Amino acid sequence: MIEVFLVGLGGFFGAVARYLLGGWVQRHADLVSPGFPLGTFAVNVAGSFALGVLLAASARLPDEARLLLGVGVLGAFTTFSTFSAETLDLLRRDAFGLAAFNVAASVTLGLAAAWLGLVAGRWVTGGPT
C-alpha cells in the first residue's frame, strides 16, 4: 500500500509542476509566437530529460524513490517521457523496427483517437461537429 501512496504523492507534485511550468512557458511564448503549444512541448522535453537522468541514477536509488520520482512525479508531469525512454530502450536493444513502429503508431493512433474522442464528445453533447 505504501507504493500506491508514493505514486499518488509524486503524481500530485508532478501534475502541479506540469500545470505551473506549462502555463508559465505558454504565457511567455504567446508573446513571441502565439498559437504554438510551446508549454506542452517544453514539459515533454524537460520530462524526457529528467527521466533520462533518473534512469541513469536508478541503480543507486531505492525502489521507493524510483516509484515516487519516476512513476509518480514524472509520470504525472508527462507520459511523453515514458514513451521516449521506452523507445530508447527498443533502440538500445537494436529493435529498430519496433522503435519506429512505436513512434509511428503512437503518434498516428493517438491523433486518430483524440479526433474520434472529440467527434464522439461533440455528438454526445450536441456540440458542433
Report if pTM > 0.95: no
Q: Can you tell me the distance from the alpha carbon of 54 to that of 47, in angstroms, rounded to the nearest whole number?
A: 10
Residue-wise pLDDT tens digits, 52-72:
999 999 989 999 999 999 999
Residue-wise pLDDT tens digits, 1-46:
999 999 999 999 999 999 999 999 999 998 888 888 999 999 999 9
Classify residue 35 as left (phi > 0), alpha (psi -120 to 50) or beta.
Answer: left
